[in-house]
Structure 1
């Protein structure tokens, strides 16, 4: 774990609420709480363009399961997984939110620890 994640206050609060409501596994809860403790909170307009957040299209390489996938992270109310629009509070979003292009993350997913890399982050205007 090198750099702190960068998140907006809204995302920070949403993750805290997700933890409080026990929507994640214990290993994820521990990891998220640790991430938030060190997180850098910024205004939306100050968020770097290459950081994973809501309304961004993110290409991820899963080194553990050996595949690449593109996710669109949206507000929970706009999530439509069948159309590849995933809630910013989905498992993959929680694992990658606040990280930037080039970061490699070891994350305790429900099906076990996985190594994922952020290949690309682009704005998404739905």
Structure 2
């Protein structure tokens, strides 16, 4: 069973371009291509408040360790690690985009494939 992610057309195009530039591991590329094939594209203003997109604050839990982190997902040009503002094109940003609060997902990080649950999503604008 594949969960259908929800994306704005702009984010959809950004992710397609990210794949074309070969910025992902093979595991993540195949996963993202499948997600995009099944994605539901809607207008940015119609994206539900509990779906991860640009300008959302996300609390995520790594399921194996139980470790939680909070990130603010921003456009690539506004990413600043010291404020936990991370690019939508960062590894965790791409992993979570389009998923809603409560979703569980797997994504290959530098230290291997990790499983995450999106605990809370807050729209910032």
TM-score range, shorter chain: over 0.9
Q: What is the TM-score of this pair, normalised by structure 1? A: 0.94
Q: Which residue of 1 aligns with 2:35?
A: 35
CA deviations over 1:5-63 (Å, ceiling 9, x no partner): 00001110111111100111111111100100000000011100000000000000111
- Matched pairs, number: 125
Contiguous gaps of at least 5 residues in structure 2: none
The separation in 1 between residues aligned to 2:65 and 2:14, in whole angstroms, is: 28
TM-score, normalization by structure 2:
0.95
Q: Which runs of 5+ in 1 are unaligned?
A: none
Q: Aligned equivalents of 2:34 and 2:110: distance in 1?
A: 18
Q: List per-residue Cα deviations over 1:86-107 (Å, max 9, x = no partner).
A: 0011000111100001111122
Q: Which residue of 1 aligns with 2:24?
A: 24
Q: Is the 8 A contact 1:25 1:110 kept in 2?
A: no
- CA apart distance, 1:66: 2.2
The alignment yields a C-alpha RMSD, in angstroms, of: 1.1
What's the CA shift string for 1:55-85, capped at 9, x where partnerless? 0000001112320000000000000011110
CA distance in 2, matches of 1:19, 1:2: 20
